[in-house]
Amino acid sequence: MLSIKSCNKTIGAVISGIDLTSFNDSEFAQLYQAFLKYKVIFFRDQFLSPESQLKLAARFGELEVPHPFFPHVSTHPQVSEIETTPGNPPGKSYWHTDMTWQSAPPKCSVLCAQHLPDKGGDTIWVSMEAVYASLPEPLKQKLAGKTATHAVHGFAGSRFDEVNSDGESRVDGISKGMVAVKHPVIAKHPETGHPTLYINEQFTRWLDDPCIEEEGITLDRLFDYAHNASLQVRFRWETGSVAIWDNRCTQHFAVTDYGDKPRKLHRVVVKGTPPEPFELYR
């Protein structure tokens, strides 16, 4: 029997009693409602093949094309490989919402652990709906209707950014033609209607209203609200663990405390829709 156990009062739930390679419509309906309610759902002992992971992700919507920077499973390009190997440690981590440099960032992601170091390598998620709710009321009013610019610059200088023989970086080459996009600072969840603070450290470049900083409102100040541990959940990976998160109302952070010990996870991403502003006054 399917069991759903919340991780805390704010975000995250562990779901057991289900086989993610074979479930009925009723079970998926329960799983999907938990996804919307808890924002990130976790499973243990789900040893998904690339085919099974793609099939599971497709239940949530149309799949994204292969990621432009991440390596992928050779036979399944929509399955990205997030891997650390000896001599190739992870780079610096940033709190981020996946791919907000797109006009329509992803709806959700399905991440499955293949192999892990003996310890370390947790991932932390934060509810950006709870972060928004924690803002002082005057700040909410000042942010209403504002936009911020997001861009792919967050990959520059990362381990995915090699320089070719012509001196051009890989990120610069791939990102030619990828124009920066503007998203509402306060976005409305397309299914629940809840407001979320829609910025992140890796891909949000600036607030578009030049007057807003004169009022003491900066991105760094807003980022700090997401560092509140009471609004977060920290997940300890095990081989076969799966996490599915709502990319429309969360950020996450990879804890890189394991050096270059081997670690590999497979990720599949589901397409989303352009974020819409939340109307504070209706």
pLDDT score of 238: 96
What pLDDT digit, counting tens, does each position of 182-219 carry? 999 999 999 999 999 999 999 999 999 988 888 889 99
For residues 15 and 96, what is the distance between their CA atoms, to the nearest angstrom? 24
Task: State the pLDDT confidence band at 250, using cuts at 50, 70 and 90.
Answer: very high
Three-state DSSP class for residue 225: helix
pLDDT score of 245: 98
Identify the weakest region by mean pLDDT among 53-57, 176-180, 211-215, 250-254: 176-180
For residues 233 and 271, what is the distance between their CA atoms, to the nearest angstrom? 24
Is 72 tagged catalytic? Answer: no
Selected catalytic residue, list 67, 98, 150, 248: 98
Nearest to 13 by CA among 26, 30, 23, 25: 30
pTM, whole model, 2 decimals? Answer: 0.92
For residues 146 and 208, what is the distance between their CA atoms, to the nearest angstrom? 7
Identify the weakest region by mean pLDDT among 73-87, 171-185, 208-222, 244-258: 171-185
102-111, 156-165, 203-212 — which one is most confidently predicted on average?
102-111
Selected catalytic residue, list 67, 248, 252, 266: 252
Per-residue CA distances from 232 to 52, 90, 228, 241, 250 (Å): 29, 22, 7, 19, 10
Question: 155 near 161, Cβ under 8 Å?
Answer: yes
What pLDDT digit, counting tens, does each position of 49-71 carry? 999 999 999 999 999 987 777 77
Task: State the pLDDT confidence band at 24, using cuts at 50, 70 and 90.
Answer: very high
Selected catalytic residue, list 96, 189, 194, 266: 96
Per-chain mean pLDDT for the chain = 91
Task: State the pLDDT confidence band at 233, using cuts at 50, 70 and 90.
Answer: very high
Q: Given a cut of 80, is residue 7 above it in pLDDT?
A: yes
Give 3-272's CATH code, choosing from 3.20.20.10, 3.40.50.1100, 3.60.130.10, 3.40.50.720: 3.60.130.10
Is 76 tagged catalytic? Answer: no
Largest distance between two CA atoms of the chain: 58
How are beta strands 40-43 and 13-16 bridged, if at all?
parallel
Per-domain boundaries in the chain: 3-272
DSSP single-letter state for residue 64: P
Identify the weakest region by mean pLDDT among 23-27, 258-262, 277-281: 277-281
Q: Given a cut of 70, is residue 97 above it in pLDDT?
A: yes
- At which residue do the structure tokens 């924690």 appear? 134
Question: 151 near 101, Cβ under 8 Å?
Answer: yes
pLDDT score of 280: 74
